[in-house]
Chain A
Amino acid sequence: MKLPPFDYACPTTLPEAVRLLAGHDGEAKALAGGQSLVPMLAFRLAQPALLVDLRKLADLRGIRISENGVALGAMVRWREIEDDERLDAAHPLLKAAIAHVAHYQVRNRGTVGGSLAHADPAAEMPGIAMTCDAEIAVVGKSGARVIQAADFFQGALTTALTLDEIIVEVRLPAWPARRRWGFEEFARRRGDFAMAAAAVFYDESEDGKARNAHVGVIGVADRPLRLPSVEDVLNERTIDEATIADAETAASAAVDPQDDIHASAAYRRALVGTMVERALKRAAA
């Protein structure tokens, strides 16, 4: 469908963008890559009075890598992550997950901040943010604040952002060189939304036991989830076939998906176990 009418502004500074959002009583929306928002407009799921285009805000650009980790500017596009060879070492899990985001043309436009703010329950970037204890830096009319990923995602398409806040960047903690990790996703077509996916990582102690296990899943709830019960299965154990089988069982037991047109709840519960199993096998290989 044709888009509903709206006004358009393209500010050149972040304070100006915040002022525009704050000045419209919640009737203004930020436009990043537009790959989720424009379909939302076409479907009349969003009908803002004003779109505030973020494309000229230099503060939202760039991938910064330091000893503190990886900071992705909100306007970083999937293609930039795909093409950034530094991330092969600096955050291989991020890179593997982002390889599953959408199709070729959408990857040239879609952004990190747009995906986080849209908060689709099956989207990869929110899943990585949850799995990796990311911090999401935002700015609004009352100033800047940092939101933990665990507090940020509050339900399907629902976040902790207030109506005048803009995501500036997402910060992923530093990635140790020897960390073990895996990412597995199942979708009917590569690039479509995940029916389920699992991101896992752990560090190995000198006696070969898993420490600091993190297990996150997408596509099986109204938001991305961490699965602490699966992490408990993994921590202080050797990641062998028996441990992986226990983790698979625990993952299926930990989620409570709903039936929908794509799959039954039972199918998704089984699938998420399989994704965790495969991701762990990849991590341990």
Chain B
Amino acid sequence: MTEQGDRRSPVSVRFRVNGREVDVDVEPRLTLADCLRHHLRLTGTHVGCEHGVCGACTILLDGAAVRSCLMLAVQAEGAEVVTVEGLSNDADLTPLQKSFRKHHALQCGFCTPGMITTAHALLSEEPDCDAARVREVLSGNLCRCTGYIPIVEAVLEARAAYRPKTQAGDRGGDRA
């Protein structure tokens, strides 16, 4: 870590993203959001307001939903980061994604990565949350298309995939 650099000297940072070890050289001022997008080409994380209001850049940091525009990349040293790319698989839509499609929980799609990552964190911790809790948690994510009602419905329906599997045939959510 630099202490007396020229303020732009790159710093080497290592962390894990979506299960993969990465090593990047970044200016200290680079946000984690821009590091993910520009250095690691993970453009699923969207940058809306750049000051912690819109929620579009939400990622999982050691399992907790955080705003990647309010974190420096250098602060991610040693952390486990999961982006929206890490919550999908190539085979099929995940239960949460399917639920978003079924309920028309997006239109332009700009806020969707933040909605998915936030909802995933919530449902992983609280698979039995009620509609009020979903609304409270998603209040930190702005959507200008849907009016939120279909998003809340989609998240509520996806809860089942996050509950412990109790019966054969009840396939739990694989990652999301």
Contact = CB atoms under 8 A, between A and B. Distances in A.
Interface string A16-60: 000010000000000100110011011100000111010100000
Taking each of A7, A41, A108, which has the highest tally of chain B beta carbons within 10 Å of its own beta carbon?
A7
Contact of A50 (B3, B9, B118): B3
A7 B50 contact: no
B160 interface: no
Interface in B104-150: 118, 121-122, 136-137, 139-140
Interface in B1-24: 1-5, 7-9, 11
A191 interface: yes
Nearest to A34: B70
Contacts of B55: 103, 105
Interface centre among B3, B50, B58, B122 (most CB of A within 10 A): B3
Contacts of B3: 7, 9, 20, 50
Contacts of A43: 51
Contacts of B28: 5-8, 51
Contacts of A55: 75
Contacts of B137: 103-104
B11 A106 contact: no
Nearest to B52: A39
Contacts of B2: 7-9
Interface string A43-81: 100000111010100000000000000000000000100
Of the four ranges (under 10, 10 to 19, 20 to 34, 35 or more), the interface on chain B belongs to 35 or more
B118 A38 contact: no
A281 interface: no
Given A10-B74, A38-B71, A109-B71, A4 B29 contact: yes
Interface residues of A, number: 35
B67 interface: yes
A104 B52 contact: no
A210 B127 CA distance: 43
Given A42-B51, A79-B64, A104-B65, A34 B72 contact: yes
Nearest to B73: A8
Nearest to B67: A105
A14 to B, nearest CB: 16
B27 interface: yes
A108 B65 contact: yes
Contacts of B5: 7
B81 interface: no
A191 B140 contact: yes
A263 to B, nearest CB: 20
A4 B50 CA distance: 13
Nearest to B65: A105
B4 A38 contact: no
B50 A2 contact: yes
Specify which of A8, A41, A55, A189 lies most central, judged by the most chain B CB atoms within 10 Å of its CB: A8
A5 B31 contact: no
Nearest to B29: A3
A5 B1 contact: no
Given A2-B34, A10-B1, A105 B140 contact: yes
Contacts of B35: none
Nearest to B9: A7
B156 interface: no
B51 A39 contact: yes
Given A7-B4, A50-B3, 7 more contacts: A6-B7, A35-B70, A49-B7, A55-B75, A103-B137, A105-B66, A106-B70
8 contacts: A6-B29, A7-B9, A20-B3, A38-B51, A103-B139, A103-B140, A109-B71, A191-B140
Interface of A: 1-10, 20, 31, 34-35, 38-39, 41-43, 49-51, 53, 55, 79, 102-106, 108-109, 189-191
Interface of B: 1-5, 7-9, 11, 27-31, 34, 50-52, 55, 58, 61, 64-67, 69-72, 74-75, 77, 118, 121-122, 136-137, 139-140
In the A-B complex, the 4 residue pairs with the smallest Cβ-Cβ separation, listed nearest first, are A103-B140, A8-B28, A5-B7, A39-B51
